[in-house]
Amino acid sequence: MFRKEIKVMDCTIRDGGLQNCWQFSDKFVKAVYDACVEAGVDYMEIGYKSSENAYSKKENGPWKFCEEADLRRIVGDNNTNMKLAAMADIGRISFDDIPPKSESVLDMIRVACYDYQIDKGITLAEHCMDKGYEVCINLMAVSTVTEMVLDQALIDLSKSRVTTIYLVDSFGSMYSEQIAFLMNKYKAALPDKTIGFHGHNNMQLAFANTIETIIQGANMLDGTILGLGRGAGNCGTELLLTFLKNPKYRVKPIIKVIQDEIIPLQKELSWGYYIPYLVTGYLNLHPSSAIKWMDSDKRDDYMTFFEHTIDSRKELE
């Protein structure tokens, strides 16, 4: 009834932080951490590792930087079975910003890069491996990459020492047929590596697409609690845990943190499926314009956003 190789990564704090500049209270982060531990989640992505030269600490909360003191204030030495991860964006962090694993409570660094940054992504990932971390590479916005360019990126990744490579539907624009096609391409190019999937919910397909990747052999799966993530959000962690039928996972702690912490947060933050996010997903566009629209006093004027976005797309063509 289940595949024991599958691991679940909860990205609530990292991806959800894109909605409020990572200004979560310690109480909130600790509640999410405790719930994930109790639920048997395999990895928790607790934020980003970023350079202070790239981001302001006045504008961004501690989970944009994941400094050791902040991490340990929440998790102590993390004497649990759940591993901790942080994401590093190419161009927004230096090698010196990442301490040796022996000095950090983090277990994994997730390197996020675009196709044109693949060489830099591999270099940073292997640097982190040399420092003692588990590492994966998230190849972003793959829905915008031509097949020839993607094939070359996968060749480069196949030659790297990185053992886990993520297929990422950054714009929430993919259908299951595309997911199956790409999964088969990744598997053929990376036969000795683990494939992961991170999806967004612009067209309410994040969960369905995650299921498709499971069918096609993905063994690292990302979710966020109640879908809390950038714009339309992500596949719900609670959905994954119930679907996988693995007795090591327990959904009750996730339901409790949804009731106690996530639902109250919805009074402050607006994430999830809304028409502007559907429009950008349908057009295979970055959701930044939809996020800006949803933060404006015109957020419910869907037709104006639709017409403006369609017209802008035509101008680009």
Please check whether residue 173 is in contact with residue 202, taking contact to mean a CB–CB distance below 8 angstroms: yes
Q: Where are the domains of the chain?
A: 7-265, 275-316
CATH top-level class of 7-265: alpha beta
- Secondary-structure breakdown of the chain: helix, strand, coil percentages, each rounded to the nearest 5: 45, 15, 40
CA-to-CA distance for 109 and 60, rounded, in angstroms?
20
Which pTM value belongs to this model? 0.95
Farthest CA pair distance, the chain: 55
Please check whether residue 238 is in contact with residue 255, taking contact to mean a CB–CB distance below 8 angstroms: yes
Per-residue pLDDT of the chain (317 residues), as tens digits, is 589 999 999 999 999 999 999 999 999 999 999 999 999 999 999 999 999 888 999 999 999 999 999 999 999 999 999 999 999 999 999 999 999 999 999 999 999 999 999 999 999 999 999 999 999 999 999 999 999 999 999 999 999 999 999 999 999 999 999 999 999 999 999 999 999 999 999 999 999 999 999 999 999 999 999 999 999 999 999 999 999 999 999 999 999 999 999 999 999 998 999 999 999 999 999 999 999 999 999 999 999 999 999 987 765 55
